[in-house]
A and B are shown apart, each in its own frame.
Chain A
Amino acid sequence: MSSAISIHAANITKRYGDKTALDDVSFDISKGELFGFIGPDGAGKTTLFRIITSLLKPGSGAMTVEGFDTVKDYIKLRKILGYMPGRFSLYQDLTVEENLRFFAGIFKTTPEANYDLVKDIYSQIEPFKDRKAGKLSGGMKQKLALSCALIHKPEVLVLDEPTTGVDAVSRIEFWEMLSRLRLSGITIVVSTPYMDEASRCDRVALIQSGKIMSIDTPEAIRNNYGQDLWAIKTDDTYRLLGDLRQFKYTRTAFPFGEHIHLSLISKSVKPAEISAYLEAAGHINIHISKIEPSIEDCFMEMMSTESSTREK
């Protein structure tokens, strides 16, 4: 990882009235890094991205992007920034090609001049270049929006929830495009509510209620989980969660699809004991297996410790 800093945030706080959107947020993002902000809706991701892109002023604290202060040097900053807002924000009544040409135009360049950078992405939607942007499918809209955000060859690319509302296949495609883009040396900051996308990033920041809970590589976050984790499935998933939460050795129990992920207060508890407890509670077809924690497990873990420390 290169050591030069692309984005530096120091103690950023932002309030809307008496609601705190960002609470003392600090981080450094290196040049050329693919950095993810992961957190649920309302965690403060969009506010943070608007501060990075100079669209909002931080309430307190300071932010620099490529050495430009986001408040004082916003004019210079806006020249080197590529930004894709959370909502699809292209001109729906303009065609694919007209949109691309327009966004190149406002950065005083042409689609032809920087075509090699967007070729990989744009070539997929080029067959539809005469179609109105409003008539594209969700995945194609995202590709067009990404092309438009890239067409002026930005040094920093900021993508606010680019995969929200996009089908599963297009999501995977989109992340592959980002991985390839990363090779061109561009710094990419992306936010997502989908935990499973975290592993695609060089580093991720887990964000919740305006606070960053952890910043690390996805592997390190998973390795720091520090608990044994069990995936449990029975025929009655609904009742299972309640029963497991009643279990005296249970630390945490969270539903993940048809499984419940269970961590225990002691490593000495054997799976047989869980199984015996569940059988006594009347569950049949009990499957218990030890699993590696995912980012989402780590996130849920941090959230529950966070809320329990807050309660104390």
Chain B
Amino acid sequence: MKGFIIKEFYHIFRDIRSMVVLFGMPVIQVLLFGFALSTEVKNAPVAIIDHSNDQVTRAITSKLLSSGFFILSDQVPGEGHIEEVFRHGKVKEVIVFESDFAAKLEKDRQAGIQVIADASDPNTANLLVSYTSAIINDYQQEYLKGMSLPVTVNTQSQMMYNPALKSVFMFVPGVITILLMLITAMMTSISIARENEMGTMEILLVSPMRPIQIIAGKVLPYVLLAFTNALIILLLSYFVLGMPVKGSLIMLLAESLLFIVMALSLGIFISTVSNSQQMAMMLSMFALMLPTILLSGFIFPIENMPLPLQIFSNIMPPRWFIVIVKSIMIKGLGFRYIWKETLIIAGMAVFFIVLSIRKFKIRLE
């Protein structure tokens, strides 16, 4: 057993490709998702056409620009040129103040602001418009201070657990899940398929090693490596991306370990049904990666899916693990709230281990 594990480590550490997949990929993915693939809008170029240029419009403008969401782009000469600047893509949003803004506000108690956004990217346009309205509303509240109005309804919204709506909060649990799932399942399935392909499995079979020993010898090194991986991802998320760990770190690690074991047994199961490295790789990539990304609730909310897909998503292990990671890291919940998800993953792990051992061929046919 010990010799088997040592051998497995030799295989991994001597193969540059394995090392890149194991340790390069997680770091790159976390950083990519953390920095590049962000749904937040920062420093969006905005143009302001101010027909009035009084103290109120200037106050609103400076409030907008100091928010961090917008930066002032080149001046737009007039309303006739708005489409032109959008066409050049230099500006994401144009804000137009009507003339005599402050005077109208004083006299008529209302004045108009026009907000025009480039909706070729609908998410960004939506966000920008809502940021703009929020900031103008905010200004209005301050402006009205001390005045009494007949009736007003104020909405007070509060974003629990992620007040700044940072997208890192959404991505990190998903990325951890996907990486652990893919790396562990793919690496084990490939490493077993390689033994089949190289003919070494033939010799392993003609030895007193039992299937469970061969499987354990394959799994243990990857448990260690995947766990190291989980640690690297968590450290990166915490220190580089500013992801909080509100709940128990030990529980998070324990849950990760459970998920790793589940993914590994899935990998072994894949290898028992595929007869080449290529096939093992394809199966892991297509059978695991796409459903993991699309159906786990990582990117697209499960509630929005058609019913058959919602039902199908239940058998996706990542779906449950994402809930666990979010609950522990972001909400800081205790085991009491995630025992159900934990049990599902544990059940899946047992299911795949038993299936792999039963499907493991003791002969060549």
Contact = CB atoms under 8 A, between A and B. Distances in A.
A and B pair up:
yes
Contact of A105 (B3, B10, B14, B198): B3
Interface residues of A, number: 31
Interface string B330-365: 000000000000000000000000000000001111
Q: Is the interface of B mostly helix, strand, loop or mixed?
A: helix
Interface size class of B (residues with CB under 8 A): 20 to 34
A295 B172 CA distance: 72
B213 to A, nearest CB: 9
Contact of B15 (A55, A78, A93, A98): A93
B212 to A, nearest CB: 13
B107 interface: no
Interface stretch (B52-60, B79-87, B123-131, B200-208): B200-208
Given A93-B14, A101-B3, A106-B208, A50 B364 contact: yes
Given A91-B7, A94-B7, A102-B7, A108 B203 contact: no
A91 B362 CA distance: 20
A55 B206 contact: yes
Given A56-B364, A102-B7, A79 B208 contact: yes
A237 B281 CA distance: 54
Contacts of B209: 106
A108 B203 CA distance: 15
A54 B204 contact: no
A100 to B, nearest CB: 11
Given A78-B208, A85-B202, A98 B7 contact: yes
Given A55-B363, A56-B363, A56-B365, A83 B208 contact: no
Interface of A: 50, 53-57, 74-75, 78-79, 81, 83, 85, 87-94, 98, 101-108, 148
Given A93-B11, A105-B3, A148-B203, 16 more contacts: A54-B363, A55-B206, A57-B363, A78-B208, A83-B202, A83-B206, A85-B202, A85-B203, A88-B199, A89-B200, A89-B203, A93-B14, A93-B15, A103-B203, A106-B4, A107-B207
7 contacts: A55-B206, A75-B208, A78-B207, A89-B203, A93-B10, A103-B207, A148-B203
